[in-house]
Structure 1
């Protein structure tokens, strides 16, 4: 099964279980309002770096608006002016979370938001799911999160993607340098001896064990998750 096939199957598992990511919103315009609640003092706070589902963002703005206007007192003109000012400077805005450092949740209700991972987020999530024990069943939220890993794998840049070839590259560089030396020059003859020693060390070294690529790692996670699902939920169709 292709990477895209695995992604679609994991998204199907999440969807069949009723899991739907929420569209992401932020609130334009910061506020911090101290309020009294039956439980004691509380704070209505947001800034433009926080993300919400639409319902929570709208609810938070509505609460902040009520308390801001009430603080203006009973004068109708003052209340109208404060209301207009608040509405001009605070609004709920749709956003796309297309380069995130990890999975994204609403700041208030903690529902999963629709997101895509950047390199940092990809490897953080991959490390998490490689070590995670899924238990008896794959949770819909985990199925969705692993699908997002499959989405991102083609875009990640691996710092160590060519490390298995390091020794070969070093040897090629040394051989090339050796070929360019002038053996009639005393300095070059000394350098040639150094190169021969370095080459001997490289050639005697144990072959380096190749680390799995990011794609191989995420495929292993996806296959482990899909295997668990097929064992415990045979009714979920494969794509």
Structure 2
């Protein structure tokens, strides 16, 4: 990744932050967006810079098309190029079908689907041959183990169609598009010691939550040169959740 420039949406914590640090350690300059926690974002940017690479924290709501366009333009202006986009920003609203409001539907689809599309559209204009688009999906696109996941699973399943279409649309430009489906991962949003952890752990084959760094490792592989012949593919890193 030496000399590469990366933009990650939702990079101030969890999988996004772990990915930012992994790619920086491999030699990339990394810009990332965050929604509201400026202190956490500054901390991640500082850790990136401690590796000797450039870090850039950009406040941008994933629902705001203009903000996403601006984030891409700022990353390109700062680094002089863009080689990798990691679509990581996402939210989850769980609950019974009759308890989900229209506002819930709009918010989840705006961030998880529309925001991913908009960030990809903006970034694709700057990606050259060898460019990479890596999107974070969910194990719930392959197995929904119980009620309450309708809206979230739908939003993440939409990314499967987007990913395959991107592979076809951008392949002749030498740009790849791939999708990573994490299982239960220990993050602030879904802690391994949280109230819902026991049931999720029991659904895995390995009997534990994943670490954000384990997801970042797959993203790093897909962002690298050895993954140049992989596109339109889906990679499940779920501890056997779907086995």
Q: TM-score, normalised by structure 2?
A: 0.26
Which of 1 and 2 has higher RCO (CA within 8 Å, sep 6+)? 1
User: Larger Cα Rg: Structure 1 or Structure 2?
Assistant: 1
